[in-house]
Amino acid sequence: MKSLLVLSLAFFASSVLADVAQSVDIDKSFARAAIKQQRNSAAFMDITNKGSQSAVVYAKSPVANIVELHTHINDNGVMRMRKIKQIDLPAKKMVQLKPGGLHVMLLGLNRDLKPGDEIDVTLGFADGSEKSLKVPVQNMMMKMKKNMDGHKVDGSLPKLMNH
Ligand SMILES: [Cu+2]
- Domain holding 47, by residue range, is 19-149
Question: What is the C-alpha separation between 20 and 2, in angstroms, rounded?
Answer: 31
- Domain assignment present for residue 48? The answer is yes
CA of 71 relative to ligand 1 center, distance in Å: 7
The verdict on residue 141 lying in a domain is yes
CA of 77 to the centre of ligand 1 (A): 17
CA-wise closest residue to 77 among 157, 149, 158: 149
CA of 134 to the centre of ligand 1 (A): 20
Q: Is residue 93 part of a domain?
A: yes
What are the angstrom distances between the C-alpha of 23 and each of 38, 55, 59, 101, 128?
A: 35, 12, 17, 23, 13
Distance (Å) from CA 74 to ligand 1 centroid: 14
If you measure from the C-alpha of residue 42 to the centroid of ligand 1, how many angstroms do you get, rounded to a whole number?
Answer: 7
Distance between Cα 25 and ligand 1 center (Å) = 23
Provide the domain count of the chain. 1
Ligand 1 centroid to Cα of residue 20, in Å, is 24
* Residue 156 covered by a domain: no
Residue 111 lies in a domain: yes
Query: 31-49: per-residue pLDDT in tens?
Result: 999 998 899 999 999 999 9
Residue 154 lies in a domain: no
Asked if residue 6 is part of any domain, the answer here is no
- Decide: pTM greater than 0.85: no
Whole-number percent of the chain with pLDDT over 70: 75
What would you measure as the largest C-alpha separation in the chain, in angstroms?
Answer: 68
Residue 44 counted as domain residue: yes
Q: Which residue has the higher pLDDT, 114 or 13?
A: 114
Instruction: Name the residue with higher pLDDT: 143 or 73.
Output: 73
- Ligand 1 centroid, distance to 108 Cα (angstroms): 12
**Residue 79 is part of a domain; what is its CATH number?**
2.60.40.1890
Residue 69 CA to ligand 1 centre (angstroms): 7
In this structure, how many other beta carbons lie within 10 angstroms of the beta carbon of residue 48?
16
